[in-house]
Amino acid sequence: MANATWVKVAPISKLPEGKMLGIEIGDLEIAVYHVDGQYYATENVCTHALALLTDGILDGDVVECPLHAGCFNVKTGAGMGDPITEDLRTYRVRVESDTIEVEIPAAS
């Protein structure tokens, strides 16, 4: 099995505390968040329908979808009730030389 890959996504200066950033890596739409001094990443497409969470609102560690106001915890990807029935996939994040990197699992 091939190893996962760490992909550089942005300098830390592009993602201040309390903000989120949408990125594309290949076919993946990923949202990166800066919350409570840490960086987190989830898939960016809402699990309810077709909307990008980075077009919504980040309030603390909760992102609200712009389409039907479904909410997710960005630290865990957990959906927080109606209309969300499926959690978000999460990705590991690290900072190397002031650059945010996201771990992309190898395709199976």
Alpha-carbon span 9 to 25, nearest angstrom: 9
Alpha-carbon span 102 to 94, nearest angstrom: 7
CB of 19 to ligand FES, least distance (A): 20
Q: Does 46 bind ligand FES (CB under 6 A)?
A: yes
Q: Which is nearer to ligand FES, 88 or 100 (CB)?
A: 88
3-42: contacts with ligand FES (CB under 6 A): none
Give φ, ψ of 85 to 5 degrees.
-120, -5
Q: Which is nearer to ligand FES, 56 or 100 (CB)?
A: 56
